Amino acid sequence: MWTGITTFFTSTLPSWATSVWENNIVPFFTQTIPGFFRNLWSSISGFFTQTLPTLAMNVWVSIKSFFTDTIPSFFGGLWDKVKSSFGAGYKAGKGSSIQEHAWGGIMTKPHMGIVAEDGAESLIPLSPSKRQRGLDLWQRTGELLGVRAYEDGGIVGEEPDEIPVASATGKASQNITIKVGVKAEPKFTIEGSGDNTDENKVVAILKAYIREMTDDISPFPSG
C-alpha cells in the first residue's frame, strides 16, 4: 500500500501534471490565446481596410447618384410639366377670349389677358388711389424707352435763325417765313423859356408823350 501511495505522488501525479502542463496549459498560452488575438486583429484590420471603405464607397456612390441623377431627373420632369402647362395655357389663351396686349392700350374693364408675350411690357395703374405708383412706373417706362427728362427745360439741337410758319391757305406744304425786327431811337427836343423850362413841368410833358407813344404801338392801352 505504501508503495502504491509513494508511486502516486512520485510518478503518477508528476506525470499527469507534466502532461496537463505540456498538452493543455502551455498550448493554451502559446497557441490558443495568440491565435485568438491574431484572428481578432485580422477581423478588425479587415473591417477598417476592406469592409468600412467598401461601405463608405457604396454610400458615396448612392449620394452622388442622388444629386447627379435623381434630383435633376425629378426637377427636369417637373419643369417639363410646368412648361407644358404654361405652353398649353398660352395656346388656349390665344384661341379663346383672352386678349393679347403686345401693342399696349388702355383697359377700363376687368378681363383675362396675356402680357409680355412679345417682350417686356409696362402695366401702369391709372386709378387715383395708385397715382404715385403709376407715376413711378411711367417715369421708369420712359427711361426704358430712352426718353430724356427735361423737367428743368433746355434747348435741344441747333437754334434756327428763321422760324417757319404755316400759311393761312390750309396747305401744309406751303410755308412762309416771318422776320420781325424792332428798332426805336426816340429823340426829344425841348424849347422854351421862363416858367416853361421848369424841371417838373418838363418831366410831366415827357411822361404824357411817352404814354401816347405806348398806346399807339401796344394792343393793350395803358389805363
**What digits encode the pLDDT tens for the residues 175-219?**
556 665 656 666 666 666 656 556 777 777 777 777 777 766 665
Closest by CA to 113, choosing from 99, 97, 124, is: 99
Q: Which amino acid is at 208?
A: A
Q: And the C-alpha cell for 31?
A: 497557441
d(CA 169, CA 176): 11
Closest by CA to 101, choosing from 92, 93, 129, is: 93
212 Cβ neighbours under 8 A, 6+ residues apart? none
In this predicted structure, what is the pLDDT of residue 137? 92
162 Cβ neighbours under 8 A, 6+ residues apart? 177, 179
In this predicted structure, what is the pLDDT of residue 86? 67
Question: Domain spans of the chain?
Answer: 1-97
Phi and psi torsions of 165, nearest 5°: -125, 130
Give the residues of the chain that fall short of pLDDT 70.
1, 4, 8-9, 85-97, 154, 156-198, 215-223
What kind and span of H or E run contains 114? strand 113-114
In this predicted structure, what is the pLDDT of residue 130? 92
In this predicted structure, what is the pLDDT of residue 82? 73
State whether residue 218 is helix, strand or coil: coil
In this predicted structure, what is the pLDDT of residue 132? 93
In this predicted structure, what is the pLDDT of residue 135? 92
In this predicted structure, what is the pLDDT of residue 14? 79
In this predicted structure, what is the pLDDT of residue 85? 67
